[in-house]
Amino acid sequence: MPFYSDTLSIPTSKYTKKTGRKLSIHSRHSSILQVTIPLHFCIVNYDKTIKKIKAMANFSVPGREDVFTNNREIFDNLKKGLGMVPNLYAVMALSDTALGNYLNFQNSKTTFSNKEKQAVNLVVSQVNECLYCQSAHTLLGTMNGLTEEQTMEIRKGGAQFDLKLNALVALAKEITAKRGFISETTLNNFLTAGYTKGQVIELVMLVAEKSAMNYLHAITKVDIDFPVAKTI
């Protein structure tokens, strides 16, 4: 096609410092085309690159034989304890160290009860819009003293059925949503409810731990292998 012809080059005689002559209309159009052609190719190549990146970014859930040797033992322990290796744990095993490090962090000692931890996990996962973790902790919450209706109330940011738990949920929600820039009122309500300043620190660690999993699912988008949590 003429549009891609080499004849679009502009002769140097069209414009010189000596004559001060301006480019002809034909020449000016040619110069525009010379700029447009590489731009057109850049756009096409950009689209191809983006499609290639998206194709490369798919995260498949590895099986036991696909992971590093040290992670195979962790898979075995998870299967013994949970009856399964959750997909989000499994995809962490693509790293030699991440799964073990995360589990150590998750299982570290805390003064919060399992029920309180599940409440924190639920509200943090709701704020971070992680349906995978909402689903997992709805199930785990009902295994640790919460009803399904209570898990939904917690995801909405409250727990009026338990005023102390309500203060915990409110602070966890605000830490997550405001990235730590909490209000004095929310903090004082937490302390007045019977929690300590030390537990404020612990709560920040719990929020960080669960946010890491929320972010990981947002990136990997592995299938949800728990009963899917209801929409609220």
Residues 228 and 187 in one domain: yes
- Over residues 181-209, the pLDDT tens digits come to 999 999 999 999 999 999 999 999 999 99
Q: Which two tokens stand for residue 213?
A: 């999993």
Same structural domain, 159 and 208: yes
CB 110 within 8 A of CB 117: yes
- Count of domains observed in the chain: 3
pLDDT given at position 3: 39
pLDDT at residue 226, rounded to an integer: 97
Task: Give the range of the structural domain holding residue 77, as residue numbers without chain letter.
Answer: 59-108
Q: Is the same domain home to 124 and 27?
A: no
Question: Which pLDDT belongs to residue 58?
Answer: 86
Are 205 and 132 in a shared domain? yes
CATH number at residue 163: 1.20.1290.10
pTM here? 0.76
Please tell me the number of Cα atoms within 13 Å of 37 on its side-chain side.
Answer: 14
Whether residues 186 and 104 share a domain: the answer is: no
Q: Are 123 and 228 members of one domain?
A: yes
State residue 12's pLDDT score. 42
Q: Which residues of the chain have pLDDT under 70?
A: 1-57
Tell whether 100 and 208 lie within a shared domain.
no
